[in-house]
Amino acid sequence: MNVPVYNMQGAEVGQMPSDEGSLSASLVDQGINAALIKQAYVMYHANRRQGSARTKSRNAISGSNKKMYKQKGTGNARHSTNKVAQFRGGGRAFAKTATREDYHQTMPVKMRRKANRNALLAKILGSEKFGSEIRVIDDLSMSAPKTKDFVAFLEALKLDRSALVVLSEEGDKADAVRKSARNVSDVELIPTSQMTAFEMLNHRYLVIGKSELEAWLAGPSSQTTKAAKVDPMGRQERKPRREAKPRGKKVRGDKAVKTSTASGEAS
């Protein structure tokens, strides 16, 4: 299975073969694991929840505290203010005032990476109605930021639905594209490192440069075996600990003075 490669004018200029080191033929042979993609999607979606939903009780509603009418003689039910739950604009009867809720979910790293690669495979295979839902560009870059040129680029690719545009991690290369596409509707921009199953499945089309796709496939997302734990890629080196200051004797000139650790006074 080969994926066509386009230029910025929408013309096909080559193909990206599904061999090892490119689109990973082993992943294509395994097929799409829908259950794994669903689990990863639910996890990413749940981790976006803020967990701070609140409702107002009658005490939190702004307005007058004046009694609506006198207690007796009207024939109506007894009421105090109009802030109670049975009136429009009043507070909730059982207001939600609990502490911040945590909806965070997690998955093993290897499962998460396999789900992301399965989502990419789903985009490559596409659907019967839309065909392949990925557009690989030979060089996704622009000489100058211009929204008109970016819109013409999307029209040349025949994108009639929402699109996820994956930008390079190099700031200079992605800056012009980002400025050109930030005001275009139904287009979302993300760097290569943030390309997840959630982002890919939330948009109909995936637009990515060939070099960015190869870097993503060969990067940490390619480690779906025990190597992800033994020798992970992209690990940040920890800063060395600061050495503790020596305690005990201080040298002043040619004489050594013994200091006390409790009071700090010389003896």
Asked if 86 and 11 count as a contact pair (C-beta separation under 8 A), the reply is no
> Between 171-181 and 147-156, two packed helices, what is the crossing angle to 10 degrees?
90
Within the chain, how many helices (H) and strands (E) appear?
A: 8, 8
Residue 177 to residue 10: CA distance in whole angstroms: 16
Amino acid 52: pLDDT: 83
Residue 180 to residue 222: CA distance in whole angstroms: 31
Helix (H, G, I), strand (E, B) or coil at 42: helix
Amino acid 20: pLDDT: 44
Residue 206 to residue 212: CA distance in whole angstroms: 12
Residue 108 to residue 211: CA distance in whole angstroms: 28
- 222-232 per-position pLDDT tens digit: 888 877 777 77
- Single-letter code of the amino acid located at 47: N
Q: Pairing between strand 187-191 and 163-167?
A: parallel
Amino acid 263: pLDDT: 47
Task: Select from 152, 134, 139 the least CA-distant residue to 7.
Answer: 139
Residue 220 to residue 234: CA distance in whole angstroms: 6
Residue 135 bridge partners (DSSP): 207
pTM value is: 0.72
Amino acid 3: pLDDT: 87
Ranges under pLDDT 50 in the chain: 20-21, 261-264, 266-267
Amino acid 5: pLDDT: 93
Task: Select from 104, 115, 140, 81 the least CA-distant residue to 198.
Answer: 115
Sign of the torsion formed by the C-alpha atoms of 179, 183, 186 and 190? positive
